[in-house]
Amino acid sequence: MDYLNIKLNGIDTDGTEKEFSLADFKGQKIILYFYPKDNTSGCTQEACNFRDNFNRLTSKATVIGVSPDSIKSHLKFKENHELNFILLSDPEHILSEAFGAWGEKSMYGRKYMGIIRSTFILDENGSIIKEWRKVKVKGHVDEVLNSL
């Protein structure tokens, strides 16, 4: 569970920039989801699904989105879509590698490294209690809710 103390800059729920580690949320369940890129169609749909179910989710867990995008990009993404949860910037892929959410992908026969869309539920001590890999956006938030 070395991943608990990894520090990343992010955008808080109120839009302010600050440094976070998962250890900051000890005593709370966390929905940690990794997505490839701000303001792309699938990532926007996924973020808006989390946003639209925020009250149902946050009664049970804290929602945190992670991508390699910059703080500036996250801020614009958050403002454009009125996102109401924390976004972490992981440009060095430190947290995403720790969770196995950074790896080889393929598009049109071309292989490259990137974020593998993944979601994890962490218990109050930071242990992974549920995970989804290669997430399909449609219906995913309902799967997460059903698992809480």
Q: Which of 11, 32, 43, 101 is catalytic?
A: 43
Q: How far apart are CA 134 and CA 89, in angstroms?
A: 20
- Which neighbouring-strand residues pair with 4? none
Among this protein's residues, is 43 annotated catalytic?
Answer: yes
User: Do the Cβ atoms of 126 and 26 come closer than 8 Å?
Assistant: yes
User: Which residues, 6+ apart, have CB-to-CB distance to 101 below 8 Å?
Assistant: 34, 66, 115, 116, 117, 118, 133
DSSP per-residue string spanning 45-97: HHHHHHHHTHHHHHTT-EEEEEES--HHHHHHHHHHHT--SEEEE-TT-HHHH
Query: How far is C-alpha 63 from the chain's CA centre?
Result: 7
* Catalytic residue numbers, as ranges: 43
